[in-house]
Structure 1
Amino acid sequence: MSGLLGDSHAIALLLFAGFLSNEVWRALGLVVGGGIDEGSEFLVWVRAVAAAILAGVIAQILISPPGALATVPDIVRYGAAAVGFGVYLAMRKSVFAGVIAGEIVVLAGKWWMG
């Protein structure tokens, strides 16, 4: 039982440091960003920068994959990206559907190609 009580301090610290500190910024963003026009030039620029960063990260992962993804053949990684993008477009720009489709292709390709 003492081990469980000892862990409560670590759990409380994780909740405070991880959850509560982020909630303050999320609430502040909601208050400050609530009145911003979504079509403003600034937000269009922010979305463009976010998309460019995401494209760079995806390209980096495809070209120099980290960890276990490095064992997946190149053709499977590139195919998964293509299939994921195709499903994203086909499903009315559903990021969730595109990611799931890409993951399925990676897992199936890794299983099939060994």
Structure 2
Amino acid sequence: MSFDGLWPYIYIAIAGWLATDLWRWAGVVAGNRIDERSEVLNWVRAVATALVAAVIAKLIVFPTGTLEASPLWLRLGAVAFGGLCFFIGGRFRQIAGIAAAIAFLAAGLALLGV
């Protein structure tokens, strides 16, 4: 079989689908049988939340790319301001928090000339 033209992309699409679709269906089957208030599901939520928090903390403390040029105090200030706007954001909490953090960081970078 020659891997010319579209064949590599078709192969990647099929292999990716096979590798992930089995686990999606297993999650659907298992998810229908798990009580939403069970200790197992609480543990899964806690682990997922901890992983997201760890990734965000890594991006703030050890950034790469464009964020690397910004000082740590500015990144921490953007997180604090975004968190504050999230808690007072009312119905649009998530949008308010994210937009406020981005605006704070952009304004700080503009003032610093970075």
What is the deviation of 1:94? 6.7
Structure 1 CA distance, aligned partners of 2:15 and 2:111? 43
Change in CA separation of 1:104 and 1:27 when aligned onto 2, cut-off 3 Å = farther
Instruction: Describe the SS at the equivalent of 1:36.
Output: coil
What is the deviation of 1:55? 2.1
Q: How does 1:1-114 map to 2 (within 5 A)?
A: 6-91=4-89, 96-97=94-95, 98-114=97-113
- How many residue pairs end up in the alignment? 110
- The Cα RMSD (Å) is 2.7
Runs (4+) of structure 1 moved beyond 6 Å?
Answer: none
Unaligned runs of 5+ residues in structure 1 are none
Percent identity between the two aligned chains: 35
* Amino acid across the alignment from 2:39: E
What is the deviation of 1:100? 4.1
1:5-42 C-alpha deviation (Å, 9 max, x unpaired): 93311221221233442222112211111121111111
Q: Is the 8 A contact 1:73 1:110 kept in 2?
A: no
Which one is further off, 97-106 or 73-82? 97-106
Change in CA separation of 1:65 and 1:29 when aligned onto 2, cut-off 3 Å = same
Structure 2 CA distance, aligned partners of 1:100 and 1:19? 34
Unaligned runs of 5+ residues in structure 2 are none
| Length-normalised TM-score, structure 1 | 0.73
Change in CA separation of 1:62 and 1:30 when aligned onto 2, cut-off 3 Å = same
| Length-normalised TM-score, structure 2 | 0.73
Structure 2 CA distance, aligned partners of 1:92 and 1:59? 25
